Every structure is written in structure tokens, then in C-alpha cells.
A and B are shown apart, each in its own frame.
Chain A
Amino acid sequence: MDVFFQTLVSGILKGGLYSLIGIGMTLIMGVMGIINLAHGQLMMVAMYVTFVCFHYLGIDPYITLFISMPTLFLLGMLIQKYTLNPLMEVDSILPENQVLMTVGVGMVLTEIARLIFTSDYKSVNTSYSGATFYIGEISFSVALTIAFFIAVLFTLFMFWFLIKTDLGRSIRATAQDKDAALLMGVNSKRITIITFGLGSALVAAAGTLLMPIYYLFPDIGGPFTRKAFVITILGGLGSTVGAIFGGITLGLAEAFGATYIGMAFDDMVGLLIFILVLLFLPGGFKRLTKI
């Protein structure tokens, strides 16, 4: 039974971070209607920012949040402005050009990272990286618990931002109906740029929070992109609440898959869930909750 609870706890803690990744993706998905296949790669960039700050400047990863998030916000805005937005005016036979473009952007980011940092594994070793505390028989990783609570904080902040602020309302309006939003005086092009920046900043937070307990190499983006789209599909595209549930479900599924089936199936569990959700619950959790 202890094993069961231990798996449950680690699944939920990991799920919190996954939610943060998923919310960024789902925001972009909702507003632009495209699947950002460079999401994991943006996270990789944030992780390298964290690594550089820690290794060369000696800045604690949690303080690096204030550096990595603005950096990625800017990077995301630039990507949207100069690669994705021009595509809206280009007419082509295939509408999936934007998705393909994000794949290209992801490749470029990965290779630039490889050129600068080589393919070696890097990690950030802080005093709390391996620290754990116990509640009863179950161990909690200190870094992962802190990360979980910061992720929850960011999620709550995101909700406040989307519901209460003017900009947040504009974003939601663009997501619901682009043309109508345009008619109401929302500069939808500017909104797409800001949204991509926000999505990138959120995934940057996830990357930085993960850094003390994870390792880093240029190709790490791919697996996280896959996780991100599994989460988004699970939660229902464009649904923020869904992304939280999706993230936690994926975290739990991976944890239980690794414990009870085998470590090698860790990645496959996510993909199986993905196909099953597409088959039996095409709208994701959004369809069940109607949020």
C-alpha cells in the first residue's frame, strides 16, 4: 500500500509541473488554433538559461525564474511575430503550415543549443536537489514539492489574469471568435503575439522549476513537446481547467505505468492515453465538465 501512495504522491507532484506546461500549450492552441510543436524546445531553452545562470553566475534556480520567464516571453513574441504571423497572409494548399513551422523552429532551437552547449548532459546540483522529507512512510522530494506549489501559484495567477484583467479578457475573446474580437476593437495580431509570449513564459517556469531535479541535453525538448500535446488533447483543446486535469492525469499515469508496468513504458503510456482519448473522448475532459 505504501508503494501505491508513494506513486500517487509523486504522480501528483509531477502532474503539477505538467499542468504548467499544458496551460501554456492550451493558451496558444486556444488563441491561434495551432498546435505548438516547439513547446518542449522552448522549455529546453529555459532550462539552459537556468543552467547558465546557476553554473556561471551562481544564481539559485528559483531566483532564475525572474530571468528565464522574461527571456522566454521575449523569445516567444519574436517567434510569433516573425515566423508564425507572416504565415497567416500566405495562402497555400495545406492549412497545417503553421504546425510545420513550429517543428522547424523547434529544430533550429535544438540545434543552436547543441552548437553552443554540445550534446553533453548537464545538471544543476543545488543543496536541496536530493533532499527529501517524510510524512508517515511516504517521502516527498523537497524540490519537487516547492515546484508543485509554485506551479499552483502560477496557475492561480493565470486564472486571475485571464478572468479579471482587460488583456486576459481580450485573449479569451480572441480565442472564442477571432473575427468578432477584431470587430470589437481587439488587435488580434498583438494578442496572438502576447499569447505566444505568455505560453512560452509558463513553460519556461516549468523548465526552471524542473531543473534542480532533472538533467538537461539539447534533445530533451522532443519528449516534453509530446507530453504537452498529450496533456492538451486530454484536457480538451483550449481549456485551461482541462489542462490542469490533463497534466495531473498524465503525471499519475506515468507514475503508475513506471511502477506497475515497467520504466521502459513511461513514454508509451502517454501516447496510449492520447490515442484512447482521441477515440473515446474526442473533446477531452472539457466535454465532461463543460468549462
Chain B
Amino acid sequence: MKKFGPIILLIALLLFPLLVQDHYYQHLMILVLMWVVIGSGWNIIAGYTGQVSFGDAAFFGTGAYTAGLCMTKLGISPWWGMAFGGITAMAIAFPFGWICFRLRGAYFALATLALNEIMRHIATIWESVTDGMVGILILQTFVSKVPYYYIALTLAVVSVLSIQIIIGSRWGYYFVSIREDQDAAESLGIDTHYYKMISLNVAAFLTGMAGALYMNYMGFIDPEVVFSLHDISIMAILVGIVGGVGTIYGPVIGAFVMVAVHEFFRTGFFGFFKGLGAITGSDTITVFAKYVGHAHVLGFGILVVLVILLLPNGIVGDWKKITNSLSPFKRKEVVG
């Protein structure tokens, strides 16, 4: 079962747009697949290499702006952005990593946070190129969501597979050794700086591609959207943590859960309270439904707190803990 799980999942995902014609759910699935890519990118640098990034939005936004600028400045199809987006994100990641990998732990995390802010300021201030706060608006290529779905799926599958290959290779072991103990890794002759650079650049490449996809799919970006700390960087961390830090399929599950939860809060429990208010005719519930909709970021924040407290290693990482606590009659295994 465990062996065929990914294949069954892949077949289900391939058939999904044929079975579900509703545009809303197709849209959600495209977002899920996009987050799989970003989550995988975050997972390789933070989950495997242990260098927690708070600034994934810097790479995401760079990729998105690359695709947008291909259209507005170069006059070529924004799909070229899919090719260039990852590369420009790497062009940001390379000097950044070169400089900032001398920092460790929380200091590196702060540096990525600063990178995120700096990129957003640049995109806002450099109006002659990026149009500042006006943002970039392009026409979408396809009317239907199905082509976007398959492009996103391809990208997600490629990113998961490449992570699997990298982690199974010699690099993967080097990454994990850096996470576990950087000094010990160094003393065993691993060039930690070099391998952290590789890890960061792979992450940036994937995240940049996801950004380019976002530009093509959404058709509109501005600095506040694509360089957002909460909506992109923190969301990327949550996708990684909820799914499982340092697991290959963690980001896949994390992306499903997080997009679902995000929509759940945004739509007020999928319109549950609104409907309840309409049925019972109770004003209190209708007002409550309005508040739930307004407070979706609050729900998101509370979720951050709860996830870190209860599931620090994510659904995949803490799977044993979850099954143990959910089955009261089973003999308790000692989780160690």
C-alpha cells in the first residue's frame, strides 16, 4: 500500500479535472499544486538542510515579476517566465547565500526576512521597471482552468521527484548532516557552505518557477501580493511544518491541508454559518458568520500557534503520535 500510495495519488490527480468540472474546486487544486512546489522548495532548504527561511516570498515574487516583465518590457510570452523565473530567483539566491550563509540558525532566518522586505521595497520603489504599487496586469492565455491544472501538476510532480532524487543521492545525506550538526559535518570534510548554497538554489529555483506559474495563472501581481510575508513566506513555512519537516511527501499533504484550511476560514466554514443563519432566520448567526469571514487571518494565526505546539514535526512526521492518540483501545506504542 505504502509503495503504491504516490502512484494512486498521481492517477487521482490526473483524473481530477475530468471528474470535477466545478471551476472553484479546480482553482483550489491549482493553488494546492502550486503550494506543493513552494513547500517542497522550503522543505529542502529548511526541512533537510536546517536553514530555516522566512523569506520564500523573495524568490516567489522574483519569479512572478520575471514572468510579468517578460510580457510588459520584453514583449514576449509570459510563459518564458517559467523558464527564466527559476533562474532569476537563483540569481537573487546566489549572492544572498554567498553572503548570508556565514550566519547560523535564527540569524540566517532573520537575514531571509530582511531579504523579503528588501525585495518588496525594490519592487515598490523601482517604478520605471516594475510599475510600483500599480502592479502588472496581463491577459491569461487560456480561458479554461484545465491547462493550468496540468501545467501545475507537471511542475509539482517534477519538484517532488527531483527532491526525492536529490535526497536519495549523496547531496541529501550532506544536507541532513548539515542540519544535524554543522560543525561535525565540516570536520568530516563536507564543504558546508557549498552544499548549503546548492540547497538554497534548488529551493529558490522551484519557488521562482511557482511564482512564474502564479503570474501566468492569476494574471495580476503587485508587490504586496507576491512579496507578502504572511501570505507567502509564513504560508510556505506552514505548508512545510504541517505536512512534515524533512519528509518528501510532507509538503504535498501540507499543501492540501493548508489550502483547505485557508479557504475554510476565508469562506466562513464554506458558508456553513451563513446558511445556518439563513435557515434559522437568526440574526446573531448571520452576524457571527460575517465576523468569521473577517477573522480568517485570525483563524490562520491561531492555527500557526496550535500547529507548532501540538504537531511540531507535522502530519507525516508525527503520524505515529496521531494514530496513537486517536485509537484509545489500541495498545499504546512508545514513541521515541
Residues of A bordering B, CB below 8 Å: 34-35, 83, 86-87, 90-97, 99-101, 103-108, 110-112, 114-115, 222, 226, 229, 233, 264-265, 267-268, 271-272, 274-275, 278-279, 282
Contact = CB atoms under 8 A, between A and B. Distances in A.
A274 B305 CA distance: 28
B301 A268 contact: no
A172 to B, nearest CB: 21
A104 B301 contact: yes
A100 B229 CA distance: 12
B308 A101 contact: yes
Most chain B Cβ neighbours within 10 Å, of A94, A111, A282: A94
B305 A267 contact: no
Nearest to B295: A115
30 contacts: A83-B305, A83-B309, A87-B312, A90-B309, A92-B312, A93-B47, A93-B50, A93-B312, A93-B317, A94-B50, A94-B241, A96-B106, A99-B52, A100-B241, A100-B308, A101-B304, A101-B308, A103-B234, A106-B301, A107-B297, A107-B298, A108-B298, A114-B294, A115-B294, A115-B298, A233-B110, A275-B111, A278-B100, A278-B103, A278-B111
A99 B117 contact: no
Contacts of B245: 92-94
A267 B119 CA distance: 12
Interface in B41-63: 46-47, 50, 52, 54
Contacts of A93: 47, 50, 179, 245-246, 312-313, 317
Contacts of B47: 93-94
B194 interface: no
Contacts of A86: 309
Q: Which 6 A-B pairs have the closest CB atoms?
A: A104-B304, A107-B301, A92-B312, A111-B298, A108-B301, A96-B52
A96 B109 contact: yes
Interface in B209-232: 229-230
Most chain A Cβ neighbours within 10 Å, of B118, B246, B297, B308: B308
A103 B305 CA distance: 9
Contacts of A112: 298
Contacts of B110: 35, 229, 233, 274
A279 B121 contact: no
Contacts of A99: 52, 106, 109
A272 B54 CA distance: 17
Most chain B Cβ neighbours within 10 Å, of A103, A226, A264: A103
Interface of B: 46-47, 50, 52, 54, 99-100, 102-103, 105-107, 109-111, 113-114, 117-118, 121, 124-125, 179, 229-230, 234, 237, 241, 245-246, 291, 294-295, 297-298, 300-302, 304-305, 308-309, 312-313, 317
B74 to A, nearest CB: 27
A235 B100 CA distance: 19
A111 B52 contact: no
A233 to B, nearest CB: 7
A226 B117 contact: yes
A1 to B, nearest CB: 29
A97 B106 CA distance: 10
Interface residues of B, dominant DSSP: helix
Given A275-B114, A278-B103, A278-B111, A87 B308 contact: yes
Contacts of B294: 114-115
A94 B52 CA distance: 8
A111 B111 contact: no
A8 B177 CA distance: 50
A124 to B, nearest CB: 25
B117 A267 contact: yes
A44 to B, nearest CB: 14
Nearest to B96: A275
B276 to A, nearest CB: 21
B298 A100 contact: no
A112 B300 CA distance: 12
A278 B234 CA distance: 23
Nearest to B299: A111
B125 A265 contact: yes
Contact of B305 (A101, A110, A264, A279): A101
A93 B52 CA distance: 11
B287 to A, nearest CB: 13
A97 B125 CA distance: 33
B291 A115 contact: yes
Contact of A105 (B111, B125, B305): B305
A238 to B, nearest CB: 13
B305 A94 contact: no
B295 A274 contact: no
Contact of B99 (A97, A103, A268, A279): A279
Contacts of B230: 107
Contacts of B111: 275, 278
A60 B136 CA distance: 47
A272 B308 CA distance: 31
Contacts of B234: 103, 107
A248 B121 CA distance: 23
Contacts of B99: 275, 279
A106 B109 CA distance: 17
A271 B114 contact: yes
